Chain A
Amino acid sequence: MCLGIVGLMQSVKCWIPIHRVLCYLVLTALFPGIALLAQTTPIISGGGGMFVSRNGGQNSYFPVISPLAAVPLGDHVLVETRATLLESFTANGHGYDMSHYAALTYLQGDFLVSPHLTVVAGSYLTPFGTYNERLTPIWISNFQNGPLILPLGTMSSGTGTGGMVRGSVVSHSSFSIDYAAYFSARSGNEQFLSQRSSGGRVSVYLPKQRLEVGTSYGRLLQGQQANFQGVHLWWEPANTGVRFRSEYAHGAHSSGYWFEAEMRPIFWGGENSWVGRFQPAFRMQQTFRNKPDPSDGLPGVNTRLADFGLVYNLPHEVRLRASYSRQFSTAGDKNIWAANMTYRFLFPAWKGKK
Chain B
Amino acid sequence: MEGEEVMHARRNRVLAFLFAIAIAIALPCFAQQQQPAAPAKPKPKRTPSAGELVFQQNCSRCHNAPQGFSPRISGTIVRHMRVRASLSKKDEEALLRFFNP
Residue positions of A touching B, CB distance < 8 A: 1-3, 32-33, 36-43, 70-72, 78, 80, 110, 112, 115-116, 118, 120, 133-135, 137, 139-140, 166-168, 170-171, 176, 178-180, 203, 205, 207, 210, 212, 234, 236, 238, 243, 313, 315-317, 344, 346-348, 352
Are A118 and B82 in contact (CB-based, < 8 A)? Answer: yes
B72 near A: Cβ within 8 Å?
yes
With the chains together, A341 CA to B98 CA distance in Å?
30
Q: How far is the CB of A8 from chain B (nearest CB, A)?
A: 15
Are B86 and A40 in contact (CB-based, < 8 A)? Answer: no
Residue positions of B touching A, CB distance < 8 A: 53, 56-57, 61-64, 66-67, 69-77, 79-80, 82-91, 93, 96-97, 100-101
Return 14 A-B CB contacts under 8 Å, by A number.
A2-B100, A37-B75, A39-B72, A40-B75, A43-B73, A118-B82, A133-B84, A137-B63, A140-B63, A166-B83, A205-B57, A210-B57, A316-B67, A346-B69
Q: How far is the CB of A134 from chain B (nearest CB, A)?
A: 5
With the chains together, A38 CA to B100 CA distance in Å?
12
Q: Answer whether A352 and B84 are a contact pair too, CB < 8 Å, given A115-B90, A139-B63, A316-B67.
A: no
Q: Which residue of B lies closest to A137 (CB)?
A: B63
Are B93 and A317 in contact (CB-based, < 8 A)? Answer: no
With the chains together, A32 CA to B93 CA distance in Å?
9
Q: B72 — which chain A residues lie within 8 A by C-beta?
A: 3, 38-39, 41, 348, 352
**When the two chains form the complex, which single residue of A2, A32, A78, A179 contacts B80, counting CB atoms closer than 8 Å?**
A78
With the chains together, A116 CA to B83 CA distance in Å?
11
Q: A346 — which chain B residues lie within 8 A by C-beta?
A: 66, 69, 73, 77
5 new A-B contacts at CB < 8 Å, known A115-B89, A316-B67:
A39-B72, A39-B75, A178-B86, A180-B86, A234-B61
Q: How far is the CB of B67 from chain A (nearest CB, A)?
A: 6
Q: How far is the CB of B56 from chain A (nearest CB, A)?
A: 8
With the chains together, A120 CA to B82 CA distance in Å?
12
Are B87 and A168 in contact (CB-based, < 8 A)? Answer: yes
Are B80 and A80 in contact (CB-based, < 8 A)? Answer: yes
Are A43 and B71 in contact (CB-based, < 8 A)? Answer: no
Q: How far is the CB of B93 from chain A (nearest CB, A)?
A: 7
Q: B66 — which chain A residues lie within 8 A by C-beta?
A: 317, 344, 346
Q: Answer whether A207 and B57 are a contact pair too, CB < 8 Å, given A39-B71, A42-B76, A348-B70.
A: yes
Q: B89 — which chain A residues lie within 8 A by C-beta?
A: 115-116
With the chains together, A78 CA to B80 CA distance in Å?
7
**When the two chains form the complex, which single residue of A32, A39, A167 contacts B73, counting CB atoms closer than 8 Å?**
A39
Q: How far is the CB of A80 from chain B (nearest CB, A)?
A: 6
Q: How far is the CB of A298 from chain B (nearest CB, A)?
A: 24
Q: Answer whether A315 and B76 are a contact pair too, CB < 8 Å, given A32-B93, A115-B90.
A: no
With the chains together, A179 CA to B88 CA distance in Å?
11
Q: Which residue of B lies closest to A2 (CB)?
A: B100
With the chains together, A103 CA to B85 CA distance in Å?
24
Are A72 and B76 in contact (CB-based, < 8 A)? Answer: yes
Are B70 and A179 in contact (CB-based, < 8 A)? Answer: no
Q: B96 — which chain A residues lie within 8 A by C-beta?
A: 36, 39
Q: How far is the CB of A190 from chain B (nearest CB, A)?
A: 25
Are B64 and A313 in contact (CB-based, < 8 A)? Answer: yes
Q: How far is the CB of B63 from chain A (nearest CB, A)?
A: 5
With the chains together, A338 CA to B70 CA distance in Å?
34
Are A168 and B80 in contact (CB-based, < 8 A)? Answer: no
With the chains together, A32 CA to B100 CA distance in Å?
12
Q: A317 — which chain B residues lie within 8 A by C-beta?
A: 64, 66-67
Most A CB atoms within 10 A — which of B83, B91, B93? Answer: B83
**When the two chains form the complex, which single residue of A112, A243, A347 contacts B70, counting CB atoms closer than 8 Å?**
A347
Q: Which residue of B lies closest to A317 (CB)?
A: B67
Are B82 and A112 in contact (CB-based, < 8 A)? Answer: yes
Q: How far is the CB of A62 from chain B (nearest CB, A)?
A: 21
Q: Answer whether A171 and B91 are a contact pair too, CB < 8 Å, given A178-B86, A243-B61, A346-B69.
A: yes
With the chains together, A238 CA to B57 CA distance in Å?
9
With the chains together, A116 CA to B90 CA distance in Å?
10
